[in-house]
Amino acid sequence: METIPSFRFFLLLLFGLIILFLVLYPLENFELLDCSVYKPWCISKNRIQAKSNLFSQTPRTKSIDHLTESPHHPLDPLTFQEINLVRAILSSYPPFASSSPSPSIHYVALDEPDKSIVLRWKKGDPLPPRKATVVALLNGQSHILTVCLESNQVAGHVTNPASGYPSLTVDDMAGVLNVTLANREVGRIITARGVDLSNVACIPLSTGWYGASEDGRRVLKVQCFSSHGTANFYMRPIEGLTVTVDVDAREIIHISNTGQGIPIPQAAGTDYRYQAQKKKPLHQQLNPISMEQPRGPSFSVEDGHIIKWANWEFHLKADQRAGVIVSRAMVWDSDRERLRSVMYKGFSSELFVPYMDPSDGWYFKTYMDAGEYGMGFTAMPLVPLNDCPRQSHYMDGVFVGPDGNPYVQSNMVCVFERYSGDIAWRHSESPITGMEIRESRPKVTLVVRMAASVGNYDYIIDWEFQTDGLIRIKVALSGMLMVKATAYQNLNQVAEQEYIAGTLVSENLIGVVHDHYVTFYLDMDIDGPDNSFVKMNLVKEETTPGESPRKSYLKVKRHVSKTEKDAQIKLKLYDPSEFHVVNPSRPSRVGNPVGYKIVPGGTAASLLDLDDPPQKRSAFTNNQIWVTPYNRSEQWASGLLAYQSKGDDTLAVWSARNRPIEDRDIVVWYTLGFHHIPCQEDFPIMPTVSSSFDLKPVNFFERNPILQAQPRFPKDLPVCRAADSA
Ligand SMILES: *[C@@H]1O[C@H](CO)[C@@H](O)[C@H](O)[C@H]1NC(C)=O
Ligand SMILES: *[C@@H]1O[C@H](CO)[C@@H](O)[C@H](O)[C@H]1NC(C)=O
């Protein structure tokens, strides 16, 4: 979502960041080569000695030449050259070749080879044939094409497979903003609200779907803000002005103007940039802090996409819709002396963000950020030292623009090791035992991070790998609230009983109550594709009179889900279960099936009516956990075409088929949920709020897998001392 003014600003920012990075990059290297730059800080011989090592081991973004890059792994994303080839093939494909207007390209990605082929493939083997999936729009019809890059042919072509349209392109958004800002009536309304037309910022908002009257054309809604006196125009809405635009006809359908009398909230205090803070911090600022890695990081990046760290190995790539995709996650088992499969593929499949205000300018705000905008599409370059620590490895996305040309989304993913002072395991013995045992191991993890800025909101998505086999998937929210302007300045002016849709977070500003649901696709392959989903239900048992001094205790009832309906899980505090994905044909030494469990977190559930149009479209949030049989065409929980979809191609629809899921290749879906009742601290920008869930080994290893982890001693780490006088 960009505004015309802020679109320019965004480009400037992007170039600025690139230049900044280019400027910072050699500086950082310089520091590594010559400690004198940071001399007061760095006095350790250790560190200086390690330097040459550090330099060669540091997995930084080498200046990858995207123009000549070639794929090395069956799952590697399409390269620049491959995307160009797709465009060339399409340009001579009859329905697309001479069409006018030319088709607009909304998504291009690798059409991944069949799982069995990928599983058989070994490094050094030739790559299986490369294919692309293309989602395009031509004359109002959605086309899904499979393009074969070996035979230079379109190998598959489906039109309008379900309701809905592909995600928005930058041209869709820019074009819609263009017609809005060029409209005289809109201009008159804005001027009448006291906003100068040179200070208007508008954003394109997806409309959801609310009935047949919206069928047959792509529609966007535009709302505008005053950018006068602040970079944070989101806090200055021109409330009540909603312009509905036909995206393809570039035509205004309707102008709704209900906000007369509602002032534009003030600019003062809204700017969040450091340079705009006039008051200096009252308390002492923190000293700079960073993690020491005197011998460099312990991970390596092979062929651009294979990450190897400690006992983990996985494939990592950026995706325009999902953001990042983690594939072929395998963990080394030192008892069995081999890499064991944990997850074939995992990614954030959809985000659903419904706002809780039924009024005209707000009811439609029920976004699906992955399918309508794209998590990779909206992922900006990460900010070194602030978004990701020093020694991070940055990865680019290679995506496609509406004209079919490839472009680079630079530094949108970072990979880094984290030591945050946590403990991996420990035990001390009390002197009573006569044993002086003090055993403790520090916890170090590996994080894969991206941050999508979908208009006002920022979603930070982390995949964190632990050496004990646990994977933590975390979503943190920041950015700006979507706020509603009001005539009220103080809560004492609001009549009792009046519903104001949220919290008064500042004068004339309501932070509207809303939810966030992030649904993850988790194709678990525990020691192979054929797995079962098991509920380990804790139930209360009562003792018989005289049996025990206890009246009650808990017992585990094991239930293997036979079909999909059996695995539609609504979490319940007073009827708890663990949720295991096991390989029934791989018992552990003592006979337990090896497995991983889904450990829920972020357990907010949607309370909307199941028949409410947005809930129907986002019915994948009706349960917190679903399990489906693996089907390569069921990956996007909101359906392949999410924009204005009616809900006929969602996870809920697939799951209703109630297919068998026992002892077969299954996919687990988990939804992290957040209810957000805004508060004043969320103004003018929100401190991050986060929730996470875990994939944790259960009876997967024969014992604690990090028993052999080394303790740390002072000699392992350089002594870095703050300067006496600096
Ligand atoms: C915006 O409108 C101007 C003038 O009407 C036109 O020249 C320009 O190409 C338009 N831009 C987009 C992105 O549609
Ligand atoms: C695979 O998914 C597609 C789309 O939902 C569906 O049409 C097809 O029937 C599914 N195949 C199986 C075997 O379930």
DSSP string, 598-628: EE--SB----S-TTSHHHHHTGGGSSSEEEE
Residue 274's φ and ψ, nearest 5 degrees, are -55, -45
- Residue type present at position 613: P
The answer as to whether 94 is a domain residue is yes
Q: Is the beta carbon of 174 within 6 A of some atom in ligand 1?
A: yes
* CATH code for the domain in which residue 144 is found: 3.10.450.40
Beta strands in 99-140 (DSSP E): 104-110, 131-138
pLDDT band at 721 (very low <50, low <70, confident <90, very high): low
Beta strands in 383-513 (DSSP E): 393-400, 406-428, 438-454, 457-466, 471-479, 483-485, 502-506, 509-512
Say if residue 270's pLDDT is above 90.
yes
- Ligand 2 centroid to residue 486 C-alpha, Å: 48
Q: Is the beta carbon of 81 within 6 A of some atom in ligand 1?
A: no
pLDDT at 656: 98
pLDDT at 278: 81
The answer as to whether 341 is a domain residue is no
Distance CA(570)–CA(604), nearest Å, equals 11
Tell me if 305 sits within 8 A of 76, measured CB to CB: yes
The answer as to whether 127 is a domain residue is yes
- Ligand 2 centroid to residue 631 C-alpha, Å: 6
Tell me if 383 sits within 8 A of 17, measured CB to CB: yes
Say if residue 139's pLDDT is above 60.
yes
* Nearest residue to 239 (alpha-carbon basis) of 175, 269, 195, 197: 195
Say if residue 30's pLDDT is above 60.
no
Mean pLDDT, residues 212-235: 95
pLDDT band at 188 (very low <50, low <70, confident <90, very high): very high
Mean pLDDT, residues 548-571: 98
The mean pLDDT of the chain is 90
Which residues does residue 485 pair with via DSSP β-bridges, in sequence order? 509
Mean pLDDT, residues 386-390: 95
Say if residue 54's pLDDT is above 50.
no
pLDDT at 101: 82
Distance CA(457)–CA(364), nearest Å, equals 17
The answer as to whether 351 is a domain residue is no
Residue with CA nearest ligand 2 atom 10 = 631
pLDDT at 723: 55
pLDDT at 290: 81
Atom of ligand 2 nearest to the CA of 629: 14
8-state DSSP, 210: -
Distance CA(549)–CA(642), nearest Å, equals 58
- Ligand 1 centroid to residue 96 C-alpha, Å: 24
Residue with CA nearest ligand 2 atom 14 = 631
Residue with CA nearest ligand 1 atom 6 = 178
Say if residue 25's pLDDT is above 60.
no
| Confidence (pTM) | 0.91
Say if residue 8's pLDDT is above 70.
no
- Ligand 2 centroid to residue 218 C-alpha, Å: 27
Say if residue 320's pLDDT is above 60.
yes
Mapped onto helix, strand or coil, the DSSP state of residue 51 is helix
Tell me if 43 sits within 8 A of 281, measured CB to CB: no
The answer as to whether 674 is a domain residue is no
Question: What is the domain count for the chain?
Answer: 1
- Expressed as residue numbers, the domain containing 104 is 78-161
The answer as to whether 2 is a domain residue is no
8-state DSSP, 660: B
Say if residue 40's pLDDT is above 80.
no
The answer as to whether 224 is a domain residue is no
pLDDT band at 58 (very low <50, low <70, confident <90, very high): very low
* Ligand at shortest distance from the CA of 667: 2
Cα angle, residue 700 at apex, residues 694 and 703 outer, rounded to 5°: 105
Q: Is the beta carbon of 84 within 6 A of some atom in ligand 1?
A: no
pLDDT band at 169 (very low <50, low <70, confident <90, very high): very high
pLDDT at 106: 98
pLDDT at 63: 61
pLDDT at 288: 83
Q: b/e for 56-74, b at 16 or more Cβ within 10 A?
A: ebbbebeeeeeeebebebb
Atom of ligand 1 nearest to the CA of 178: 1
Mean pLDDT, residues 642-668: 98
Residue with CA nearest ligand 1 atom 14 = 175
Tell me if 329 sits within 8 A of 472, measured CB to CB: no
Which residues does residue 277 pair with via DSSP β-bridges, in sequence order? none
Q: Is the beta carbon of 630 within 6 A of some atom in ligand 2?
A: no
- Which of 11, 178, 222, 252 has most ligand 1 atoms within 8 Å of its beta carbon, as the pocket-test mutant? 178
Say if residue 18's pLDDT is above 70.
no
* Ligand at shortest distance from the CA of 665: 2
* Ligand at shortest distance from the CA of 7: 1
Task: List CB contacts of 397: < 8 A, sequence separation 6 or more.
Answer: 77, 318, 319, 320, 376, 379, 408, 409, 412, 413
The model's pLDDT over 67-101, given as tens digits with 9 standing for 90+, comes to: 999 999 999 999 999 999 999 999 999 988 877 88
Distance CA(150)–CA(60), nearest Å, equals 33
Q: Is the beta carbon of 178 within 6 A of some atom in ligand 1?
A: yes
The residues carrying an active-site annotation are 369, 457
The answer as to whether 124 is a domain residue is yes
8-state DSSP, 212: G
